[in-house]
Homo-oligomer: A and B are copies of this chain.
Amino acid sequence: MVKVGVLKMGAIGTALLVEYLLDERADRGDIEVRVVTSGAKMQPEEAVVAEKLKEFDPDVVIVISPNAALPGPKAAREAFEGKPVIVISDAPAKKAKEEFEQKGFGYILINADSMIGARREFLDPTEMALFNSDVVKVLAATGAFRIVQEELDRVIEAVKKGETPELPKIVISAQKAVKAGNFQNPYAKAKAMAAYFIAEKVADIDVKGCFIERDPEKYIPLVASAHEMMRVAALLADQAREIEKSNDTVYRTPHSKEGEILKKFELMGKPE
């Protein structure tokens, strides 16, 4: 039984689902999962939750947050130095790649898990949820979440076998996402890439809307257009999957009870 500890600080799309990606039908017998989070905030003082997670004595630690280059997430991961720690974060975290490498942290940085349009005139809980719904659609349908699944499973597998796991060092680009998406139709693949590229670009617009423009007349249209982009990216990623459905070639990778990754294409077929 591998103990997987997950520490979440603040919200990115991947954070919503990361623990379920490991055990989508809640029937896996080889892992025990514990997640702690202090909610939406990610100040250094939130890193106290790391203490709670330590009591669980995890074999593998996942620290997931927006912009892992910030002090809060940094403090959190450093609390687990010495353990296999995997940082999951978004594009701005690329600034900290060197630090990750130096300290031996694994990392999965997801370019398309873009920043939300966090302006009070625009973002309420409903809009926040809708944006995350779209982000999740993009990351799942393009294949990005499968990389997260595969990399975490690989590390867990190594720990299970008593080996020192090789931690992931991966920045998920459109190309890498769709490779994991394993699209059988090349236009489905192209649409998925397009969705991913659009989702990536959202971050630029939202950064401008949240941190650069100060006039509501300017920043409201910016953040609103960024969310329209994510919405259209979600629709496009969905369309890519619909093509695979129309050919009965959707690639699926369910976990077995023992935590292996099974594979299948035909809907009516058996995963193997």
Contacts and interface: CB of A to CB of B under 8 A. Distances in A.
Contact of A16 (B17, B140, B220): B17
How many copies, total? 6
Contacts of A245: 185, 187, 243
Interface stretch (A74-82, A87-95, A105-113, A118-126): A118-126
B225 A129 contact: no
A101 to B, nearest CB: 26
Contact of A40 (B33, B39, B222, B250): B33
A198 B232 contact: yes
B194 A228 contact: yes
Contact of A24 (B123, B189, B250, B256): B123
Nearest to A187: B245
A61 interface: no
Given A35-B36, A129-B145, A186-B221, A124 B201 contact: no
Contacts of A118: 24-26
Given A24-B124, A33-B38, A174 B225 contact: yes
A121 B10 CA distance: 34
A149 interface: yes
Interface string A25-45: 110100011111111111000
Interface of A: 4, 6, 8, 10-11, 16-17, 19-26, 28, 32-42, 49, 52, 55-56, 118-130, 132-134, 136-137, 139-141, 143, 145-146, 149, 174-175, 178, 185-191, 193-194, 197-198, 201, 205, 216-218, 220-222, 224-229, 231-232, 234-236, 238, 241, 243, 245-248, 250, 252-256, 262, 264, 266-271
22 contacts: A10-B26, A19-B37, A21-B129, A24-B125, A25-B40, A25-B120, A28-B40, A34-B36, A52-B56, A120-B256, A124-B254, A125-B254, A126-B140, A126-B143, A126-B253, A133-B134, A185-B248, A186-B221, A186-B248, A190-B227, A197-B205, A243-B246
